[in-house]
Amino acid sequence: MRSLKNLDIEKSIETRKLILEENWYDKFDTFTNYLMFLSLMLPTFWGLGDIKQSANSDIEYLFYLCPLSFGLYGFYCKFTEKNLKEIKFTIHKEEAKRRILEYGKKYNYRISKISKDLIFLNEPTDTLGLGNHETTTMVFFKDQSILYTLIKDASRLNVPVLISQHIIRNDFKKLLSLKKIENKTKRGYFSLFFFKD
């Protein structure tokens, strides 16, 4: 299980990188992830060098480039998972915090670690319920922007978050760019047909 002990909020915001105390298991886990992605990439490099030009060489290139691309992307995600990505906004900081909290409640995140400049949005990663492992979206608040990252916790290997970081970035951008959020009640089919806005 991943440890997020002694997180220095101020230094993390200053450096735009998570500053926290790591134990030996976290370091070993990071090394194992790098080794896993490298072991996926290295054979594909050798395979690409052995391809001879023929009618089927395009398929062979595709066969080798897919795992190579995945390995490079996974390695990059693990290498940059502690880097904080920034989204700027023009609304008030407290309004941004309120919107993020509402977003967390709407999508059933377990919200924790609420402080002046930090919110954790926790989402379960174990679909079978074998443990209390989660993907944590850490949101730091500055005056006119948020800094965030996603950290995945698993029972054996803490692999990096590959896709949901892009989804959450789009959600946060939309959420923080709206001037005013209107609470409209959802209408049924017949009321939409007979009554117009």
Instruction: Determine contact, residues 97/119, Cβ cutoff 8 Å.
Output: yes
**Residue range 112-142, pLDDT digits in tens:** 877 888 999 998 876 555 567 788 999 999 9
**Domain extents for the chain?**
9-177
Rounded to whole angstroms, the Cα distance separating 81 from 160 reads 7
Instruction: Determine contact, residues 158/25, Cβ cutoff 8 Å.
Output: no
**120 HSE (CA, 13 A, CB side):** 14
Q: How confident is the model at residue 149 (pLDDT cuts 50, 70, 90)?
A: very high
**72 HSE (CA, 13 A, CB side):** 8
Q: Which residue has the tokens 């409640």?
A: 105
**Residue range 13-65, pLDDT digits in tens:** 999 999 988 888 888 989 999 999 999 888 887 777 777 777 666 777 778 88
**Residue range 182-194, pLDDT digits in tens:** 544 444 434 444 4
Here the tokens at position 11 are 């230094």
Q: Which residue has the tokens 């920034």?
A: 86
The secondary structure element, H or E, covering residue 14 is: helix 9-15
Position 130 scores a pLDDT of 57
